[in-house]
């Protein structure tokens, strides 16, 4: 299982970080988790064809996680691939339909299947040899954290969230937890995570998770990356990784 971070940033433009997107290769078949602005252009940089993607998991519907989804569908159509399955939280079908209704020519050409999920759902996407489960994240809109279990390993993607025991329970015994870390310690935030707030809950799970990779950085985090790692090392025994765009991890 190979994980490529296509985008590790947020809605605010930053050098070398586009918006959220993670590509998971499972036995050569790619699964895309989130598709924010800039993610589509990362495909050639990552050495992956966008036309290989026919399945997308959406954590939630904020623009920095979905802005390039319709452009991806159009790009695939222009290269002869017209089918797409999209899994997401409550409201995904209504949102998708409203956007694509503005592009009648595209609506008539593509076959998009929307599957809305509820926390606790377990499923296997068509064409994949893996199991996926989800739980609710703590964010300002309905948001799902995902656990992907394949033959070679398993990981959890927290999505945008405050630290959550539900997500930590989902990550128990996983090889990797990809967790957002939007702001540095000392900032008062809601709906997001800082190293301090993550450390407060992480100590209870230090022996249950293999490694942690931090992502979804606001500009305020620039220059605080080492500080974040140092803060968490006192509470977690595994490796702590700072995600960068186009970085690859193998499980």
CB 32 within 8 A of CB 59: no
List beta partners, residue 42: none
Does the pLDDT of residue 97 top 90, yes or no? yes
d(CA 8, CA 63): 14
Q: Choosing from 34, 64, 68, 175, which is the catalytic residue?
A: 64
- DSSP class of residue 69? H
CB 109 within 8 A of CB 74: no
Does the pLDDT of residue 207 top 90, yes or no? no
Question: Using 50, 70 and 90 to split pLDDT, how confident is the model at 206?
Answer: confident
**Catalytic residue check, 52:** no
Q: What is the pLDDT of residue 27?
A: 82
Does the pLDDT of residue 217 top 90, yes or no? yes
Tens digit of each residue's pLDDT (9 = 90 or more) over 168-203: 999 999 999 999 999 999 999 999 999 999 999 998
* pTM as predicted: 0.97
Question: Using 50, 70 and 90 to split pLDDT, how confident is the model at 234?
Answer: confident
List beta partners, residue 14: 17
Average pLDDT, the chain: 97
Give backbone dihedrals phi and psi of 68, rounded to 5 degrees, phi first: -100, 10
Question: Using 50, 70 and 90 to split pLDDT, how confident is the model at 92?
Answer: very high
d(CA 213, CA 204): 18
């Amino acid at each position: 299982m190979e994980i490529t971070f296509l985008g590790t940033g947020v809605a605010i433009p930053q050098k070398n970080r586009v918006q959220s997107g993670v590509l998971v290769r499972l036995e050569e078949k790619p699964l895309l988790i989130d598709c924010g602005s800039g993610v589509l252009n990362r495909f050639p940089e990552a050495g992956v064809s966008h036309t290989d993607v026919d399945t997308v998991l959406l954590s939630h519907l904020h623009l920095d996680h979905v802005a390039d989804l319709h452009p991806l569908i159009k790009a695939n159509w222009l290269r002869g691939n017209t089918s797409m399955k999209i899994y997401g939280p409550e409201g995904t079908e209504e949102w998708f339909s409203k956007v694509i209704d503005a592009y009648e020519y595209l609506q008539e050409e593509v076959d998009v299947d929307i599957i809305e999920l509820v926390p606790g759902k377990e499923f296997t996407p068509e064409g994949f040899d893996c199991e996926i489960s989800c739980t609710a994240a703590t964010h300002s809109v309905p948001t799902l954290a995902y656990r992907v279990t394949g033959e070679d390993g398993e990981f959890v993607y927290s999505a945008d969230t405050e630290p959550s025991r539900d997500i930590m329970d989902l990550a128990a015994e996983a090889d990797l937890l990809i967790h957002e870390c939007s702001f540095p310690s000392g900032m008062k935030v809601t709906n997001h995570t800082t190293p301090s707030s993550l450390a407060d809950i992480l100590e209870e799970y230090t022996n249950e998770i293999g490694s942690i990779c931090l992502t979804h950085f606001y500009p305020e985090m620039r220059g605080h990356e080492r500080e974040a790692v140092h803060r968490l090392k006192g509470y977690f025994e595994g490796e702590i990784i700072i995600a960068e765009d186009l970085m690859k991890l193998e499980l």
